[in-house]
């Protein structure tokens, strides 16, 4: 028992970050891709999980999140849950809209795939 607790504590220390709260992840998904296909929402959720951070994710503070209808919130919640079991982002930790493309290319990122208006980069 003590050994299990020690191992879990060590793992938590090594990971360096606490898990992203579901409520914040849902805001990020809604703010980034509320009107995008479900597949894009799943891929964004996977990217967020891969990064284990919401740093640089505009969607969390997107004003439209406050007015999201209940069906959109439910869909974003499903995308977050689905991303726990599968990497829909194909290993991509970064994503952006068409206006972000030049930033990513200039900084050495390679576009991997696009869903709707969202391109995923490595």
- 24-56 tens-digit pLDDT: 999 999 999 999 999 999 999 999 999 999 999
Could you state, in order of their start, the residue ranges of all structural domains in the chain? Answer: 21-121
The pTM score is: 0.85
Q: pLDDT value at position 16?
A: 54
Whole-Å CA distances, 4 to 9, 46, 64, 107 = 8, 28, 44, 43
Q: pLDDT value at position 18?
A: 78
Q: Is the pLDDT of residue 106 over 50?
A: yes
Q: Which residue has the higher pLDDT, 15 or 57?
A: 57
Helices (H) and strands (E) in the chain, counts: 5, 3
Residues 6+ apart with CB under 8 A from 84: 49
């Amino acid at each position: 028992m003590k050994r299990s607790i020690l191992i879990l504590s060590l793992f938590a220390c090594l990971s360096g970050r606490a898990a992203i709260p579901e409520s914040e992840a849902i805001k990020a998904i809604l703010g980034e891709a509320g009107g995008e296909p479900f597949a894009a929402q799943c891929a964004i959720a996977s990217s967020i999980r891969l990064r284990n951070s919401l740093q640089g994710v505009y969607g969390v503070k997107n004003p439209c999140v406050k007015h999201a209808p209940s069906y959109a919130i439910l869909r974003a919640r499903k995308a977050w849950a689905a991303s726990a079991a599968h990497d829909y982002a194909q290993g991509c930790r970064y994503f952006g809209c068409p206006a972000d493309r030049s930033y990513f290319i200039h900084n050495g990122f390679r576009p991997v795939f696009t869903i709707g208006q969202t391109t995923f980069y490595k």
